[in-house]
Amino acid sequence: MRRYLRLALAMITAACLAAPASRAEPQKIDTSKLPPALGAEEPAVKPKRGDDGLYHQAWFVESFLNLKEDFAEAKAAGKRFVVIFEQRGCVYCVKLHTDAFAKRYVNDYIRKNFAIVQLNMWGDREVTDFDGTKLTEKRLAQRWQVIFTPTIIFFKDDVTTASAKWGPPLEVARLNQIGTGTIYDMFVWVKHKIYAQEPNFQRFHIQRIAERQDMRKKK
């Protein structure tokens, strides 16, 4: 009996020694060169409501909706390219503009660093996709599998090296959240290519939340 007990203990010990070590805590991102996690919220930025029922920012890109050309112009201006799908009557879309985008520091940062094309999920305007396909806004939403609004689509800094001519291979991330902190952090995460160092956005977001809490305590 003792022999079997010793054998069992030996097997358990061997299994424990062979078990992989727990993963080390992820390293914190150096945020010293990033914009502050908080900023001045006033004066608030007021969006305008268009005839299509959507709220618009004055600096949103107005073009012929040729996405490849819009992307090229954004890159030439040193900005990252983003497409936002919204729809009439979407309370979350309204909140995006009247809450997150209304805060001065968020609006200023995005305006200076991003070129945004706003599309209507059910719209009939003609859009030319990256591969040259011409279709309406609502057909493009279906093609891109957009099923919720707002959907914010962030594109890679260089789409010419992508494995496909349109679709997810050209994207960095998609965001459906409307919280101010989440939106702001995602735009910072994309602009500074933090995804190359930390592909898990949530970890970066948690770190920024802690920074905001510290900043509020010091006020």
The strand pair at 48-49 and 126-128 is best described as: unpaired
- Cβ-count burial of 5 within 10 angstroms (0-12 exposed, 13-18 middle, 19+ buried)? exposed
Q: Is 209 exposed, middle or buried (0-12, 13-18, 19+ CB in 10 A)?
A: middle
Look at residues 146, 149, 147 and name the one whose alpha carbon lies nearest to residue 171. Answer: 146
Residue 2 makes CB contacts below 8 A (sequence gap 6+) with none
Beta strands in 48-113, from DSSP E residues, in sequence order: 48-49, 55-56, 80-86
From the options 3.40.30.10, 3.30.460.80, 3.30.300.130, 3.40.980.10, give the CATH code of 47-179.
Answer: 3.40.30.10
Sign of CA dihedral 146, 148, 149, 150: negative
HSE, CB side, 13 Å, CA atoms: give it for residue 76: 6
Place of tokens 């945020």: 31
Is pTM beyond 0.75? Reply is yes
Do residues 173 and 201 make contact, with C-beta atoms less than 8 angstroms apart?
yes
Give burial (CB, 10 Å; 0-12/13-18/19+) of 110.
buried
What is the domain partition of the chain in residue ranges? 47-179
Tokens encoding 87: 């729809």
Predicted pLDDT of residue 13: 42
Q: What pLDDT shows up at residue 8? A: 45
User: In a structure prediction context, what are the per-residue pLDDT tens digits for the chain, which is 219 residues long?
Assistant: 545 445 444 444 444 444 454 455 667 899 999 999 999 999 999 999 999 999 999 999 999 999 999 999 999 999 999 999 999 999 999 999 999 999 999 999 999 999 999 999 999 999 999 999 999 999 999 999 999 999 999 999 999 888 889 999 999 999 998 899 999 999 999 999 999 999 999 999 999 999 999 999 987
55 closest CA partner among 43, 65, 45: 45
